[in-house]
Structure 1
Amino acid sequence: MTDNLLLRPWTGPLGGVPPLDQVEVSMFEPALVTAMAHKRAEIEQLRSNPEPPTFANTLEALERAGATLDRVAALYGVWASSFATPELRAVRQRVEPQLSELHDAIFQDPQLYHRVEEVAGEPGLSAEQTRLIKRYLETFRRAGAQLDPAGRERIAQINQRLSILYTTFSDNLLADEESHVTFLSEDQLGGLSASWIAGAAAAAEALGATGSWAVTNTRSSVEPFLASSTERTLRERVWRAYFTRGDHGDEHDNKPLIVEVLALRLERARLLGFESHAQLQLQSTMAATPERATELMQRVWGAASAKFRAEVAAMQALADARGDEITIEPWDVRYYAALIRRSEHDLDPAELQQHYQLEQLREGMFWTATQRFGWTFELEDLPVPHPDVRAWRVRNADGSDRGLFYLDPFARRGKRSGAWMMPYRVQDRLDTPTLPIVSNNCNFLKPPPGQPTLLTPDQVRTLFHEFGHAIHGLASDVTYPTLSGTRVPRDYVEFPSQLNEHWMDTPELLSRFALHQQTGAPPSPELLERSRAATNADSGFRTMEYLASAVVDMALHQCTDPVEPAAFETQTLAAWGLPPEVVMRHRTPQFAHIFSGDSYSAGYYSYLWADVLTADAAEAFAETGFYDRAISARLMETVLSRGNTIDPAEGFRAFLGRDTEVEALLRDRGLI
């Protein structure tokens, strides 16, 4: 079993670290097949136990099963998201159905299901143990354990087919992103910042186009270009390339996959006794029903739409005053929003960007955790999968180990777009204490050697957002792996991450770490005041592009008839009254959140739901001070450390002392 490196226990500090520097793609398939067989054997031993079921011989045995597979799957996940070579993509097509089949073989097993049901009545169980049983029973029921053999078989077939479709969707999207690049000549660089130009030159050189500048088809490249380029024709070309990913009618077109995914999800939901996939997905969330999630979106939509229409009117007035002779289109919105920041707030985004050095802000990010929780971060020489990746040892205030944090900040070929937190190992105390290992992954443009990485304000927000997820994973203090860290409902998991964004704007951080790349000076109070005044200058736009995606996601997954994705987008958003100057942040053919897996399907509303919690909690921090140790300790005790051991609403109520109120969100976004 140990001939394959991936199957060996991890060695090194903190209970072992992943051998990220020794992985080869050829190792994955045999390692996964072997690890899956090992888990099957462990489960068979559990289910054939002749002793009456107890929490120890059933739930704890389930929690221990698959440790080898967990290690292999962690490394496989890193490569699938960050090093997706054609060879790795072929492996995924073969192994994803096998992983799906294993999951169903376990959670469709009536014998195992009934063992867990029997344990539910065991006397003397703790609240955490009761919560774990509830979580397992939900998983068994969602897999169809209560169905007849024919129903279980059909569910398994659906899940295996979906696993292939999800992988293909992701591969198609990555292929479209990698195959379409807009190369610029020197006379097409008008308005673009020096840091963006340097990154675009480096990107072009990496693609073999030295002497030109590359707009890669990723958000980190496209959005700054759209906000700054004076070339309107180029803005439209870049915008269309980005918002038509997966929608070209070729071998990478995702629309046929979407139709099949939706049909299979609906069939599965109905087999399980639900009217729609949305109803199935939301049963264990804070929202609980599609209707409650939609009600929140409707409440925010009206205010955001009104503000966005006012923003567009101001943009059109500015364009007219400049003699631009245009009607504002979607590829103009970011550009004119930036012009308005300059004209109304005397704020040039490039002025702020000179203070936003990744290396400095990363240290500032760590500093905020030190001030709030007493944690320290020490750079460690540990195995990494790429020279850009670095690792830090995280310690508690008393010097004891808390876990490990990895950061992979830059875009590259084979790395999926966006930003995400990934746990390599979750915390638990099931046997000996296991410390968490987490990573943050971003897609910032890498500058030429010797130059600092300068971030836009939105990219700084992304950095702090993902670090909020990392804090959540590192803070975990639970007994059972299934309930650990970020393994909470989707509409709650974004609460710690979105709350953490608020520390990026604190004067204490900015004065110490937002240091000008040339002078080393912090931003002046006057610059910070101008920045604060402009915070919500385009909040209507930002809210509407998000809501458009969330609304379509929920509507798609409540639909009970076959749909054509493009027509459904248009019809749904017309019914809601989406202004023509804005489109979905993620159109359906590129909506990886909901079509590259199940987790966020009928769940993109979660960011809004969590932001209601976030805005309310941020007001509480603003009252006491963002670095107040007492309120930080309360957040740690009631939210961050608890994982999924308590009901999220109960945890939030324990933190704030009451239920949340949506008005805080509307105030935060300047919508009231």
Structure 2
Amino acid sequence: MRIPFVLAATLAIAAPVLAQTVVPATPRTNVAVPTDATLDTPSAVNLLLTPSTLPLQYPPFDKIRDADIGPALDQGMAEQLAEVAVIVDNTAAPTFDNTIVALERGGRTLARANTLLSSLTGADANPARLKLQADYATRLAAHRDAIALNPKLFARVEALYKQRATLGLGAQEQRLVERHYNQLLRAGAKLDEAGKARMKAINGELAQLGARFNQNVLAEVNESAVIVDRAEDLAGLGDEQISAAASAAKARGLDGKYLVALLNTTGQPVLSQLENRALRERIYEASVARGSRGNAYDNTALVSRVVTLRAERARLLGFATHADFVLKDETAQGQQAVNAMLRQLAPAAVGAARREGGELQAMIDREQKAKGQPSFKLAAWDWSFYSEKVRAAKYGFDESQLKPYLEMKNVLENGVFYAAGQLYGLKFKQRNDLPVYHPDVLVYDVFNADGSPLAIFLADMYARPSKRGGAWMNAYVDQSGLLNQKPVVANHLNIPKPADGKPTLLTWDEVNTMFHEFGHALHGMFSNVKYPSMAGTRVPRDFVEYPSQVNEMWADWPSVLANYARHYKTGEPMPRALLDKVLAAKQFNQGFATTEYLSAAMLDQRWHQLPLEQIPAADGVMAFEAKALREEGYDYDPVPPRYRTPYFSHIMGGYAAGYYAYVWSEVLDANTVQWFKANGGLKRELGDAFRAKLLSQGGSQDALTLFRGVVGHEPQIQPLLERRGLVIEKSEKAKTTATK
């Protein structure tokens, strides 16, 4: 996933699916699943029950109905339980092959069905898929517990763990034994029967609450869209944007009106353009009220319950808090390191934001005086609008001057793909013969420099009401030597779709997001490991964002930018003077960007570092948030957190107590960017080294060992501070080592 804080923004990582012999696809035109695919009639043959016969096991989206998913999940769970029974009932002594490898081979049908369901509910939800997600959340949690808490299985894995040094295993195999053992331990395998029963109940309830939270967020972000009656109130938007807003309103039966859709972030992109201050305020207030309005989608009680259950589960497992439980398994290894880093950065970030706010206030004062009108105090809904004005004044350009040179497909093919070709020798070829789940999805074959097939890549770039917010990568098929699988990976963004026939012109942040998410895709595509549970992005959460953030550096690399930054009408390259201004403005607004991110990361930690007895009830959720922001020094109203608690989807998913990972990873990223630059930049030998030493390794080695193997030293925080133009107090400057 990517957030605008990372500048050079729930990462969905699906389970692997079963290997097969690859056969050629039947030529056809890319076909989207029809909108009536929610029909309850199953297909005559459920293709989820067997590996796909399309290239690289690409999913047959056009032949799988929603009604096929439930039966496939049911059969998949039954199959996996039978596979585990064979393992635990084996009278032979446990061996690596009859226990660990057998576990790695198992669960293929379930993985295939669950991957499809989780991917489609994120990318193209409909009532049938959302109902399946809700109906199966608790059942899948119970299924996972039935395996993880099986005492016979744990006994076999524990026996191998105790003997691992004497079994003659390779380094990757020994690490895999340790990984399986620790996962079972963290799942509660050593609890007594009462503890296991409570663990199962907690996990089941958490699964149900997580599904409800995500569905509430999706529903309310659509319901909270702002309806505008007059086109003149949209002054500042381009003609294409106004036309798209009219089309969106018409689609809801509101002919003659305009609909401003929201994204699942606190700030909204249109706030940088709208001249109507009252409308800016209205959009902002609609955004921040989500999830705490006391309506059907209010998430405050749900948040309180989730945090309580997580704290109880952590205590069952011997940890003081949920954060202790999570961080024990990350590269940070504990609260102390995370808190120290966040609190080291906070004063510099907030101080920079206040200085930036002072510049914005001065511009407001000058403008209002020139109009003969009283000034007003800078508010959160003013920041983006006036920061664009300050950018124009300081650097001689604003976002509107860039967008004509940033047409979406051109950025993808002649920017993102071009950089990957220069650095890694990759080649891409669009194909139109594979089915897609939505007409907007593009499909590409990816080849190595020698012409051998590497992967299939899906690009799903547009926002839509059926799609969750943010940007993410997921894998439909994970690489595995054991299963003879090559990867099928997808990137998802939420770029507003223009009216029919109009070009898709990107903001600079959207360009960076595209490069960022493709960094995740490269991590998945370059994976070259044997065992599926170690493939691709299966690395610690506070390491997974690191390769994707490194890939952002190529967005403004001069030779790459010159290749894609071309006017969508004329094909003329971006003028050198404008290019130079873009590069000169890299540190612009970094106080704001860093502060809005850090305040959200801090909220995540404050929630999950609470002992069980101190967790507030529903009516105290928003008060706790306000108190935490104030106590940590983030009570600067013009810069709210990027996510407020009731719509903070990251921490209801895989980033609970882990949202700090973006800045933790960016420390590693900033060090690696220095390594690239010091050794020549965009060079094949550097790309090949980064691929071989890090991107291909997945989770087969210790994460920081992989990092040190590339850059040659421990991670240091100074490159990050220099990149962002942040100043740390002298007493803090000695603390340059960011991680253990």
Common fold by TM > 0.5: yes
Q: 1:390 to 1:451 in 2, by over 3 A?
A: same
Amino acid at match of 1:337: S
User: Residues 266 and 643 of structure 2 are in contact (CA less than 8 Å); yes or no, is this contact kept in structure 1?
Assistant: no
Shift in Å at residue 119 of structure 1?
1.7
Higher relative contact order (CA 8 A, sep 6+): 2
CA distance in structure 1 between the aligned counterparts of 2:452 and 2:595, rounded to whole angstroms: 45
Aligned residue number for residue 548 of structure 1: 599
Aligned residue number for residue 438 of structure 1: 489
Aligned residue number for residue 336 of structure 1: 386
CA distance in structure 2 between the aligned counterparts of 1:223 and 1:356, rounded to whole angstroms: 20
Q: For residues 206-259 of structure 1, what are the alpha-carbon distances to aligned partners after superposition, in whole Å with 9 as ceiling and x for unaligned?
A: 333344332102159963211111111110110111122111111110000001
Aligned residue number for residue 323 of structure 2: 278
Q: Tell me whether 1:355 sits opposite 2:411 in the alignment.
A: no
For residues 456-471 of structure 1, what are the structure 2 equivalents within 5 Å?
456-471=507-522
Q: Give aligned-pair identity as a percent.
A: 39
Aligned residue number for residue 103 of structure 1: 144
User: Residues 203 and 214 of structure 1 are in contact (CA less than 8 Å); yes or no, is this contact kept in structure 2?
Assistant: yes
Q: 1:222 to 1:269 in 2, by over 3 A?
A: closer
CA distance in structure 2 between the aligned counterparts of 1:667 and 1:134, rounded to whole angstroms: 38
User: Residues 221 and 445 of structure 1 are in contact (CA less than 8 Å); yes or no, is this contact kept in structure 2?
Assistant: no
CA distance in structure 2 between the aligned counterparts of 1:86 and 1:280, rounded to whole angstroms: 35
Give structure 1 regions of 4+ aligned residues with deviation exceeding 6 angstroms.
none
Q: Tell me whether 1:413 sits opposite 2:435 in the alignment.
A: no
Shift in Å at residue 580 of structure 1?
2.0
CA distance in structure 2 between the aligned counterparts of 1:220 and 1:100, rounded to whole angstroms: 29
CA distance in structure 1 between the aligned counterparts of 2:44 and 2:395, rounded to whole angstroms: 62
Q: For residues 539-558 of structure 1, what are the alpha-carbon distances to aligned partners after superposition, in whole Å with 9 as ceiling and x for unaligned?
A: 00010010111001001101
TM-score, normalised to structure 1, is 0.97
User: Residues 231 and 242 of structure 2 are in contact (CA less than 8 Å); yes or no, is this contact kept in structure 1?
Assistant: no
SS of aligned partner of 1:391:
strand
Aligned residue number for residue 191 of structure 2: 147
Q: For residues 150-169 of structure 1, what are the alpha-carbon distances to aligned partners after superposition, in whole Å with 9 as ceiling and x for unaligned?
A: 11111111000000000000
Q: Tell me whether 1:428 sits opposite 2:480 in the alignment.
A: yes
Amino acid at match of 1:577: G
For residues 60-99 of structure 1, what are the structure 2 equivalents within 5 Å?
60-99=101-140
SS of aligned partner of 2:270:
helix
Aligned residue number for residue 718 of structure 2: 663
Amino acid at match of 2:388: A
SS of aligned partner of 1:339:
helix
Q: Tell me whether 1:588 sits opposite 2:637 in the alignment.
A: no
Aligned residue number for residue 73 of structure 2: 32
Q: 1:2 to 1:495 in 2, by over 3 A?
A: farther
User: Residues 201 and 212 of structure 1 are in contact (CA less than 8 Å); yes or no, is this contact kept in structure 2?
Assistant: yes
Q: Tell me whether 1:562 sits opposite 2:604 in the alignment.
A: no
Q: Which range moves more in the overlay, 44-53 or 19-28? A: 19-28
User: Residues 418 and 442 of structure 1 are in contact (CA less than 8 Å); yes or no, is this contact kept in structure 2?
Assistant: yes
CA distance in structure 2 between the aligned counterparts of 1:220 and 1:108, rounded to whole angstroms: 38
TM-score, normalised to structure 2, is 0.88
For residues 195-274 of structure 1, what are the structure 2 equivalents within 5 Å?
195-218=240-263, 223-274=268-319
Aligned residue number for residue 576 of structure 1: 632
CA distance in structure 2 between the aligned counterparts of 1:223 and 1:400, rounded to whole angstroms: 43
User: Residues 216 and 222 of structure 1 are in contact (CA less than 8 Å); yes or no, is this contact kept in structure 2?
Assistant: no
User: Residues 100 and 163 of structure 1 are in contact (CA less than 8 Å); yes or no, is this contact kept in structure 2?
Assistant: yes
CA distance in structure 1 between the aligned counterparts of 2:411 and 2:306, rounded to whole angstroms: 41
Shift in Å at residue 41 of structure 1?
0.8
Aligned residue number for residue 164 of structure 1: 208
Amino acid at match of 1:339: K
SS of aligned partner of 2:387:
helix
Shift in Å at residue 2 of structure 1?
8.7
Q: For residues 149-192 of structure 1, what are the alpha-carbon distances to aligned partners after superposition, in whole Å with 9 as ceiling and x for unaligned?
A: 11111111100000000000001111101112212321112122
Gaps of 5+ in 2: 1-42, 369-373, 728-740
User: Residues 359 and 452 of structure 1 are in contact (CA less than 8 Å); yes or no, is this contact kept in structure 2?
Assistant: no
Shift in Å at residue 649 of structure 1?
0.7
User: Residues 376 and 394 of structure 1 are in contact (CA less than 8 Å); yes or no, is this contact kept in structure 2?
Assistant: yes
Coordinate RMSD, CA, aligned:
1.5
Pick aligned residue for 2:443 from 380, 391, 394: 391
Aligned residue number for residue 302 of structure 1: 347
Aligned residue number for residue 58 of structure 2: 17
User: Residues 265 and 642 of structure 2 are in contact (CA less than 8 Å); yes or no, is this contact kept in structure 1?
Assistant: no
Q: 1:201 to 1:510 in 2, by over 3 A?
A: farther
Gaps of 5+ in 1: none
User: Residues 346 and 633 of structure 2 are in contact (CA less than 8 Å); yes or no, is this contact kept in structure 1?
Assistant: no
CA distance in structure 2 between the aligned counterparts of 1:535 and 1:613, rounded to whole angstroms: 19
Equivalenced residues, count: 668
